[in-house]
Amino acid sequence: MFNRFREDIQAVFDRDPAARNRVEVMLAYPGLHALLIHRVAHRLYLKNFYTLSRLISHFNRFFTGIEIHPGATIGQRVFIDHGMGVVIGETAEVGDDCLIYKGVVLGGVHLEKKKRHPTLEKGVVVGSNACILGAITIGEHSRIGSGSVVVENVPPNSTVVGIPGKVIKKQTTGDLDKDLEHSDLPDPLQDVIASWLKLFEQFEKRLQGLEQEHGIKEKELIRNYDQALKSFQNKGPNNER
């Protein structure tokens, strides 16, 4: 347990450039505190001390702002950065070397007493306020964009964004420094808008070509349209239109 705690401390230095020294990390990192308390609660949970383990997890939530059910399985070298508002359900599994930002929810979608929470495989990065719901699996070294809602399995080495989350890129680098570049995440909505703008530009050029070909001037077209509109508006309700 001491070796695992030492690995958790080293994970903070590997993933947070703001970490200065071990004393600061041990005293001022709630994500580290939450994992340490959870490991105690989880051991008691496995020995069927359900009420005591839940009380410890309740204290963990009050003390750190991070809610981890004592039944959840957390791997080695996991780092919960900032952590406020993180919720990890009872049957959730978080693999080694995962990185979880604040506000992340690993939640369930039904009330049956079976596996109902997500599984994060090794090296997954989950951005702030992302929700991963249901008994789904996020493949290793994948990254989930901030604010995404994921309800389907994600293959390894994928990037997911959107509501609902869609895989918009595969073969992430596996290099944590590069995979943390959240500003580099593709934006599918922006891609759709860009394609429409390009299409409108093509239509405008084609329309201008047709106008030139038939000798139609834009001002004349607008004037004729205005005259037709006024003529239509001036007709009485009993007249033919």
Count the neighbouring beta carbons within 10 Å of the beta carbon of residue 161.
24
**Averaged pLDDT, 225-229:** 74
* Residues 154 and 226 both lie in one domain: no
pLDDT band (50, 70, 90) for residue 61:
very high
156-200 confidence digits (pLDDT tens)? 988 898 888 888 877 665 555 555 555 566 666 667 777 788 887
159, 214: one domain:
no
Same domain (yes/no): 16, 119:
yes
Is residue 72 domain-shared with residue 158, that is, in the same domain? yes
**Euclidean distance between CA atoms 157 and 79, whole angstroms:** 19
Number of domains in the chain: 2
- Give yes or no: residues 152 and 204 share one domain: no
pLDDT of res. 60: 94
Domain shared by 44 and 74, yes or no: yes
For residue 34, what are the domain limits? 2-184
Q: Which two tokens stand for residue 172?
A: 């992430």
Q: Is residue 147 part of a domain?
A: yes
Residue 239 within a domain? no
Q: How many residues does the chain have?
A: 241
Q: Are 19 and 136 contained in the same domain?
A: yes
Dihedrals φ, ψ of 212, to 5°? -65, -35
Cα angle 78-30-56, degrees, rounded to a multiple of 5: 90
3-class secondary structure, 235: coil
Highest mean pLDDT among 11-15, 68-72, 141-145: 68-72
Whether 144 and 200 map to the same domain: the answer is no
- The reply to whether 119 and 228 lie within a common domain is no
My answer on whether omega of the bond before 164 falls inside 30° of 0, hence cis, is: yes
Q: Is 219 helix (H, G, I), strand (E, B) or coil?
A: helix
Query: Looking at the domain assignment, is residue 105 inside a domain?
Result: yes
Residue 241 pLDDT level (bands cut at 50, 70, 90): very low
Within a domain: residue 227? Answer: yes
* 5-14, 61-70, 79-88, 224-233, range with the lowest pLDDT: 224-233
| Same domain, yes or no: 177 and 195 | no
Distance CA 91, CA 118 (A): 8
Domain CATH code at residue 163? 2.160.10.10
Query: 73 in a domain, yes or no?
Result: yes
Residue 240 lies inside a defined structural domain of this protein: no
The pTM of this model reads: 0.71
Q: Tokens 């049957």, residue?
A: 91
75 and 14 in one domain? yes
* Whether residue 20 sits in one domain with residue 81: yes
Predicted local confidence at residue 169, as pLDDT:
73
Give tens-digit pLDDT for 98-146: 999 999 999 998 888 889 999 999 999 999 999 999 999 999 999 998 8
Question: What is the tens place of the pLDDT at every residue in 27-49?
Answer: 999 999 999 999 999 999 999 99
Say if 241 falls within a structural domain: no
pLDDT in tens, 146-161: 889 999 999 998 889 8
DSSP state of 70: T
